[in-house]
Amino acid sequence: MSDMHNLLNKAYETNDLTKVEIMYLLENITHEDRAVLYSYALKTKKAYYGDKVYLRGLIEFSNFCRQDCLYCGIRASNVNVERYRLTPEEILDCCDQGYKLGYRTFVLQSGEDLWYTDEILVALIQEIRKRYPEVAITLSIGERRAETYQSLFASGADRFLMRHETASKELYERLHPTMRFEDRRACLSALKAIGYQVGAGFMVGLPGQTPADLAEDLRYLKNLRPDMIGIGPFIPHSQTPLGTEKGGTLDDTLVMVALARLLIPDSLIPSTTALGTLHPQGRELALRAGANVVMPIITPTSVRKQYALYENKICGDDQPEDCRYCIERRIQSAGFEADLGRGDSYRSSSLED
């Protein structure tokens, strides 16, 4: 058997690879090897989650951001962005609409917008929890104080998504002039310690990113053991300093999704909107390479296009109901079954049993 086949088998059988092994795999993988990798990732996903793909309703509630990430279209210094901020009542209307469409997980995502004080967020989460005791409330609002995370958890939030973006300190610091590598990691550790189901993750194809960096991303995730893992291609936005860089590719991103499935087999892995933007079948291909979550957008159509992290983002004109049915069709066409339930991670649901 070739070295590559030995490595792919090892990943499948043991759910572990060293950093050097991952680098070898990334540097030498062929088209045929990729097919083997994806089939192992698919088998692994099925062993933990069967044919289910979980749907989450994504509400992008503000595009104001105090940070200045070099890659991001809503970075603070992009003066061309038309900024918007949904009021708590508007966010609750989105939840009402999402609930009627059948969603039982809401993901509240925004730029880092301190207009939403602890008091505003606590009251909002309490109200969502009161209206819908059974839903999962997921936050993706960036860096805050540990005390804030604690009070949001106490008021009813259950999950938190915060990509670590890249496990290379040097690359992280180059891309995030207003942020510190250690702070991001400290936030993730604090969120985990508080008891949130935590989602970390990274972008693929960042300028200057090496196979060693990507291998380190997977090793970091393996050690952190997050419940959720978000992996998407970097897509350049012309109004950012990285506007003329090359973006991440479909194949490279699918390889990282499949490896994440093999190394952290019980995690929830979204098939990202960014992959759907890169390729018309990108999300279906990710589902066949180990992803098992899709996050249809339920942000009001009136502001959707303003949440442009990158350009040509799909679904800009769709109504929330269009998104739900379009996604369900895609999930079925990829050979899976859409599940609108809370969709807790395998680990947290087995802990509760």
Binding residues for ligand SAM (CB under 6 A): 71-72, 109, 111-112, 140-142, 162-163, 165, 203, 232, 234-235, 237, 274, 309-310
The least CB distance from residue 71 to ligand SAM, in Å, is 4
The least CB distance from residue 206 to ligand SAM, in Å, is 9
The least CB distance from residue 248 to ligand SAM, in Å, is 8
Nearer to ligand SAM, 48 or 64 (CB): 64
Nearer to ligand SAM, 57 or 232 (CB): 232
Q: How many CB atoms lie within 10 A of CB 303?
A: 18
By three-state DSSP, how is residue 292 classified?
Answer: coil
Residue position matching structure tokens 């606590």: 122
By DSSP bridging, strand 52-55 and strand 57-62 are: unpaired
DSSP string across 294-305: E--B-S-HHHHT
Residue position matching structure tokens 């009161």: 130
54: part of which helix (H) or strand (E)? strand 52-55
The least CB distance from residue 46 to ligand SAM, in Å, is 28
Nearer to ligand SAM, 60 or 339 (CB): 60
Q: Which tokens sit at 327?
A: 């996604």
Sign of CA dihedral 84, 200, 252, 180: positive
Q: Which residue is nearest to ligand SAM (CB)?
A: 142
Nearer to ligand SAM, 44 or 105 (CB): 105
By three-state DSSP, how is residue 317 classified?
Answer: coil
The least CB distance from residue 168 to ligand SAM, in Å, is 14
Nearer to ligand SAM, 236 or 343 (CB): 236
Nearer to ligand SAM, 187 or 327 (CB): 187
Nearer to ligand SAM, 87 or 238 (CB): 238
The least CB distance from residue 326 to ligand SAM, in Å, is 21
Q: Which residues pair with 173 in a beta bridge?
A: none
Residue 5 CB contacts under 8 Å (≥ 6 apart), including other chains: 33, 36
The least CB distance from residue 36 to ligand SAM, in Å, is 28
The CA–CA distances, whole Å, from 96 to 100, 103, 122, 163, 206 equal 6, 10, 18, 27, 37
The CA–CA distances, whole Å, from 310 to 60, 62, 81, 165, 243 equal 14, 16, 12, 15, 9
